[in-house]
Structure 1
Amino acid sequence: MKVSKRFRWEAAHRLPWHEGSCRFMHGHSYRMMVELEGEPTENTPGGSAMLIDFKHVKRIVKPLVDAMDHATIVNASDTELREAIEALESKVYVMPYDSTAENIARHVAESVRDDGASVLRTHGVHTIRVQVWETETCYAEVEREVPEGRSDPASAEEVLAAMR
């Protein structure tokens, strides 16, 4: 069973090593699809066929999207751009690698996996797929497995309660 939730945000970035126009700072209207795959567990309320409530997906992903929205996404090693953005007192989102669509998708997939592992396991989610659309015609996709571990409904509920 698969469920997907779409997200959108606006952001600027640059790829200083790029041979084309992407070496200059520019912006995108990003679209992202977060897809979760798995089988509902007996922990699903009422034993329904629901994999995971979309509100849980939103609670895991939205803080990351909010942090990137209307920010300049900067590689941590691009100190020149980072310092310029900070000097302008503008919003900056620092990643440990270049802000390509591939790396943004990887970053989101790994953040969802790491930050939401307990909740995802409790609901029977075993695979995360993230598509990041940089333009209307171009996207990158990354897939990550949710690490196996004890599915503890009590701790998952604590995580969800803390996210409310």
Structure 2
Amino acid sequence: MNKRLMSITKVFTFDSAHHLNDYEGKCKYTHGHTYKLEVTLKGPIDKNGFVIDFHDLNRIVEDEVISVVDHKYLNDIFDFNPTCELLGLWIWDKMEVSLKRKEYFLEKVVLWETPTSFITIDRKDMV
């Protein structure tokens, strides 16, 4: 097996509405976003030339994340204030549980709330 590691990234979008609790700005009112989600995995290239097949990564993210949040009111789903930061941590945790193969692992999650505002979670920060 090849010991060199490579990162792969797949990009997704989903639409959700929410409001922020205990917040005095405009976001205290119900509003929506088209979120952009970037999921990056890292691992060695297998005998077929993949870290993970993009199709398989797509299925995991669609099943574990997108199907839960797309076209939903986030305040009805979560017991936390649905900020971009906390939504990103929820995505990280869902993906960590789903990626049980030891050959690759979750390296980074980037969640864009608007075209100019996003959060980044890197493995090195998740101590």
TM-score (norm 1): 0.66
Gaps of 5+ in 2: 1-5
Separation in 1 of the partners of 2:39 and 2:15?
17
Equivalent residues in 2 for 1:1-150 (5 A)?
1-40=6-45, 44=46, 47-63=47-63, 64-74=65-75, 82=76, 94-118=77-101, 121=102, 124-144=103-123
**Shift of residue 143, structure 1, vs aligned partner:** 2.8
Cα shift readout 1:52-96 (whole Å, capped 9, x = no counterpart): 10111111110220221111001xxxxxxx4xxxxxxxxxxx123
**Counterpart AA for 1:143:** D
Deviation at 1:116, TM superposition (A): 2.3
Write out per-residue CA displacement over residues 111-138 of structure 1, whole angstroms, 9 at most, x where no aligned residue: 01102223xx2xx213331111000000
Q: How many positions carry a matched residue from both structures?
A: 118
Higher RCO structure (Cα 8 Å, ≥6 apart): 2
1:110–1:144 contact (8 Å) kept in structure 2: no
Identity across the alignment (%): 27
Higher helix share goes to which structure?
1
CA distance, structure 1, for counterparts of residue 111 and residue 94 of structure 2: 14
Change in Cα spacing, 1:116 to 1:96, as seen in structure 2 (3 Å) is farther
- Encode CA deviations 1:4-39: one digit per residue, 9 max, x unaligned: 000101110011211201111100011110011122
Ranges in structure 1 where 5+ consecutive residues have no aligned partner: 75-81, 83-93, 146-164
